[in-house]
Amino acid sequence: MPASLAIGRIRTHMRRKRLARPLFSLLLLLAVLVVVSAGLPPFAARAAVFDSFAKAVAPDARGGPDVAPSALLAASAAGVYVTPGRGSADRQAIMNAARVPVVRDIGQQIVFVVQVLRTDGQWAYLQATPVQPDGRPLDWTRTRLAADWRADAMSDIVMVLLARRGGRWQVVDHVVGPTDVFWYSWTDRYGLPDALFHN
């Protein structure tokens, strides 16, 4: 039986017993250690860890489980990037932190329509389109960036780079309305791999 299938079965059993988060996090960390100590090539090790971790964070009918911090740390150690499930505490914390500078730049309240959200537990990247809280598109001509919008000198997306510091997500850098792949500059500036920024 493949390790990922065994871990998936254990996770299902533990969920029924309401022990899933703390015990699964520990099992996932142990799985990472076993895969690494088995001497598998790095790609195979990462694929095995990602397979089991992806099952742990896959959305369910309630919008997705929260990802335990220890599981995110295991993902970070293995170089695995995941998307926190809808409704998870980690996703909500990332969105709330990212919203602060974007609201300041735009000058009105917004919510995000997410295109990319990836994290390894220590770093997170968000690429999204800001919309009005009721879901309607933003009227950029009524924002602080109206002149750039009218001049066709910006896009309608935002890119936000965050880091977990002291147990909280904090914005490290952001850009509103980039017209190029702005995150390329962050790979050099912060020493981050391309894999954080795209699937």
CATH architecture of 89-196: Roll (3.10)
- pLDDT for 115 beyond 60: yes
∠ CA 150-156-162, nearest 5°, is: 135
Question: Residue 198: pLDDT band by 50, 70, 90 thresholds?
Answer: confident
Q: 152 CB contacts (<8 Å, ≥6 apart)? A: none
83-112 pLDDT, tens digit per residue, is 999 999 999 999 999 999 999 999 999 999
Q: Where are the domains of the chain?
A: 3-78, 89-196
Arithmetic mean of pLDDT, 53-73? 41
pLDDT score recorded for residue 199: 74
pLDDT score recorded for residue 80: 84
